[in-house]
Amino acid sequence: MGDIPKVDLSIHHRPQGFSDRIAFGFTKALRFCADTFFAKRYGHRAIVLETVAAVPGMVGATINHLKCLRRMCDDRNWIRTLMEEAENERMHLMTFIKVAQPTVFERLVILGVQWVFYLAFFALYLVSAKTAHRVVGYFEEEAVISYTMYLKELDEGRSPNVAAPDIAKHYWKLRQEATLRDVVLVVRADEAHHRDVNHGFADELSGAADPDAVIAPYPDHADDIRMAA
């Protein structure tokens, strides 16, 4: 089993300028909706929100791919990074679906939200890719907070710390006896990495890239995810 990277929970990008404030306000509004809807049902919350979290990477990859084709320019590895992010978020979903089952109502919410969020995020990315990446950076900050709360729930015995699903043990190369707690730790580390990457992309697009910016280490993932299905 590889080491689970430590996560710096204090990281927060202070909104600077109009676009950051819009991104931050939008994220906080969605956080309020999620908190109201799910309360402490963290397994269900993870499933529904991971279906949303897997969208931006694919949108960003598509739009950057098309831009590079039109301009015949290099993508600075953004496309693969974003596609990998989408795949990683989908693996979060495939993992949590082994832990909890969404209700029929939640499945309907997922359908509706996917239509609205995909189209809205696509439009936002076309209008301002910088704001779109900032939104994802803030989403990921919230994801780190939510998974930290999930850990507390497990540690204090309010949710059972069941065995890690096989798919998770394969994908994150966890030890055989790994538990849900180990899974939440590696998922949170993934989210922290996405947080820093997306804030970094937003900084780069605003011409204010910080050469000393630290990116949270990414946990080790299996190359062949078919084995995990």
Q: Which residues contact 162 (CB under 8 A, 6 or more apart)?
A: 99, 179, 180
| Bridge partner residues of 163 (DSSP) | 179
* Shorter beta-carbon distance to Fe ion: residue 124 or 192: 192
* Neighbouring C-beta atoms of residue 43, cutoff 10 Å: 18
Rounded CA separation 205/185 (Å): 31
Contact 221, 191 (CB under 8 A): no
Stretch touching Fe ion by CB under 5 A, among 3-11, 115-123, 183-191, 203-211? 183-191
Stretch touching Fe ion by CB under 5 A, among 51-59, 71-79, 175-183, 196-204? 51-59
92 is in an annotated binding site: yes
Stretch touching Fe ion by CB under 5 A, among 13-21, 90-98, 118-126, 200-208? 90-98
Give first-to-last CA distance, the chain, whole Å: 19
Q: Where are the alpha helices (DSSP H) in 14-54?
A: 17-38, 42-53
Binding-site string for Fe ion from residue 184 to residue 203, where x marks contact by CB under 5 A and - marks none: -------x--x---------
Residues 131 to 150: which contact Fe ion by CB under 5 A? 140
| Residue of 13, 45, 92, 170 interacting with Fe ion (CB under 5 A) | 92
Name the site residues for Fe ion (rule: CB under 5 A): 50, 53, 89, 92, 140, 191, 194
